[in-house]
Amino acid sequence: MFELDQVSMSFGELAAIGSLTLRCEPGTTTALIGPSGCGKSTLLRLMIGLLAPTRGRVLFDGQPLSAETLGQLRRRTGYVIQDGGLFPHMTAAENVTLMAPYLGWAASQTQARLAQLCELTRFPADALARYPGELSGGQKQRVALMRALLADPEALLLDEPLGALDPMIRFELQEDLARIFADLGKTVVLVTHDLAEAAFLAHRIVLLRDGDLVQSGTLEEMLADPASEFVERFVRAQRSHGIGEHQ
């Protein structure tokens, strides 16, 4: 569904992405992982069309992204930015249903969809009237996910969706995300720093370094046949963070 064809991205003289080719198959979950500054979030922004590549092409469902196709992409893709990006002056319900008027939905349709999403994400309905400052970290992330899922998009892009949560809440949300991904069968691309999380949630892990794709595959493949010394060191450095605890 998402395809990057020899994509490069530079900010002035800084090369954020080298000549990178990547395909994310429909109905699968791909995890982008690597050290800070390796280009993970930049790739996500290229996929959603917030950035245009310096060279190469970004395609969605076989169509190159352009000014003419961006609107269609945005309607078919849900996007969760780092820390959720909730509007602090709006209630949880208002944050989730922000786009409903622009979609032409009646109030009854909006309320029905809101109830579905609360059930799907296990968000307490009695918390919908609260403001983000009155929600826990896990609840904020559930609200951000519900907002991304409001229009039932075909694809989801998640940028460090669980990055700032304490271990217990993070574990619970990992379990819920895995269930939601399996139930909905959408194409998902997520950014994470956590290799164990990537292995648990994704069909495929894409390891990046300095804007280049170093190795792509499952955690088992990286353990059994690392493509370089960097892959070995990266995997070894993450073993203390619970690799395999979900497996």
Beta strands 212-217 and 63-64: pairing type? unpaired
| pLDDT reported for residue 13 | 86
Q: Does residue 171 lie in a domain region?
A: yes
pLDDT in tens, 200-233: 999 999 999 999 999 999 999 999 999 999 999 9
Does residue 226 sit in helix, strand or coil? coil
Which tokens in the block code for residue 246? 């979900």
pLDDT in tens, 179-193: 999 999 999 999 999
Q: Does residue 247 lie in a domain region?
A: no
Q: For the range 218-227, what are the long-range contacts, defined as Cβ-Cβ under 8 Å and sequence gap of 24 or more? A: 219/195, 219/243
* Structural domains of the chain, count: 1
Residue-wise over 111-149: b if at least 16 C-beta within 10 A, else e?
Answer: eebbeebbebbebeeebbeeebeebebbbbbbbbbbbbb
CATH of the domain at 136: 3.40.50.300
| pLDDT reported for residue 23 | 95
Q: Does residue 21 lie in a domain region?
A: yes
- Ranges of residues in the chain with a pLDDT under 70 are 164, 239-247
For residues 105 and 102, what is the distance between their CA atoms, to the nearest angstrom? Answer: 8
Query: In terms of residue numbers, what domain contains 98?
Result: 2-41+56-241
For residues 78 and 242, what is the distance between their CA atoms, to the nearest angstrom? Answer: 29
Enter the pTM of the model: 0.91
Q: Does residue 112 lie in a domain region?
A: yes
